[in-house]
Amino acid sequence: MPELPEVETVVRSLAPHVTGRRILNAEFNQPRVLRGDAEATTRMLVGKKIESVGRYGKFIVFTLRPAGFLIVHLGMTGKLLWNGAPEKHTHAIFTLDRGTLLYNDSRQFGRIEAARELPEGVQKLGPDALAVSLDDFTDFLRKRKSRLKAVLLDQTFVRGLGNIYVDEALFRAGVHPMTIGATLRKDRVKKLYDAMREVLNEAIERRGSSISDYVDSDGTRGSFQALHRVYRRTGEPCLTCGRAIERTLVAQRGTHYCPKCQKR
Ligand SMILES: [Zn+2]
């Protein structure tokens, strides 16, 4: 599933293509990935100019002129592809005054929505994982009585993290995923905060992790998956201490960690 670094990479690869372009047509063929009525969505989009494209947590937000937003969540297998050829998994086609943007999604867990205002579900998210201050991160964490793995996945705590980067950040910070958020000592909170920023920034530099079929809008794969230290390395030796990486379930999510390096 694309997380903050993958979505950021898609946005950065899209921006030079779509910024300033006008939407000439928008076609949708799969109600599952479209929130709202297809015809009404097309009417809302046609004629609008794309002022900018940005990332909001794991959402891709196109700001339109004179008004409105086009919001895309890639779900698990969603892709926004620039000037590709439509295929059987193409569920939306945006024809611009220069070029075409396709939305492909084989598993159809993604969502597209056109709206006058940013939807409530987007607005109520917490601060971005790369923008939140250490003070706010510390304050918010103090109020959380659930396990760190679940806290960090919660988009109303900070937005943008998913399974991969939570596991990787916890490993780098030396913190066990089952630790209760509110009990983490201040110095370890700072370690976790720094580890989160570090892993996200390194992953953006590597254009994200291509775990299944993730690619950016130009079809390029990311390379950060080769640098994962715990995620999907179950049974392989820890790169720090040599102990086998373990997998457990926390908040119903597969969680990878080193039982020696990560302490409660
Ligand atoms: Zn270890």
The two three-digit tokens of residue 189, written as one number = 């909170």
Q: What is the pTM of this model?
A: 0.95
pLDDT at 49: 98
- 3-state class of 100 per DSSP? strand
Cα(258) to ligand 1 centroid in Å equals 5
Per-residue pLDDT tens digits for 200-218: 999 999 999 998 789 999 9
Active site residue 253: yes
pLDDT at 133: 98
Cα(219) to ligand 1 centroid in Å equals 35
Is 195 a residue whose pLDDT tops 90?
yes
Active site residue 113: no
Among 107, 190, 253, 260, the one annotated catalytic: 253
Q: What percent of the chain has pLDDT over 90?
A: 95
- Measured distance CA(140)–CA(226) in Å, rounded: 32
8 Å CB contact between 72 and 103: yes
The Cα diameter of the chain in Å comes to 59
3-state helix, strand, coil in the chain (%, to 5): 30, 25, 40
Active site residue 58: yes
Cα(239) to ligand 1 centroid in Å equals 7
Cα(256) to ligand 1 centroid in Å equals 11
Cα(242) to ligand 1 centroid in Å equals 6
Q: What percent of the chain has pLDDT over 70?
A: 100
Per-residue pLDDT tens digits for 115-165: 999 988 888 899 999 999 999 999 999 999 999 999 999 999 999 999 999
pLDDT at 187: 97
Q: To the nearest whole number, what is the mean pLDDT of the chain?
A: 96
pLDDT at 213: 81
Among 2, 8, 79, 159, the one annotated catalytic: 2
Angle at 239 between CA 235 and CA 242, to 5 degrees: 60
Cα(29) to ligand 1 centroid in Å equals 48
Cα(5) to ligand 1 centroid in Å equals 25
- 3-state class of 68 per DSSP? coil
Is 41 a residue whose pLDDT tops 80?
yes
Local confidence band at 251 (pLDDT 50, 70, 90 cut-offs): confident
Among 48, 55, 58, 111, the one annotated catalytic: 58
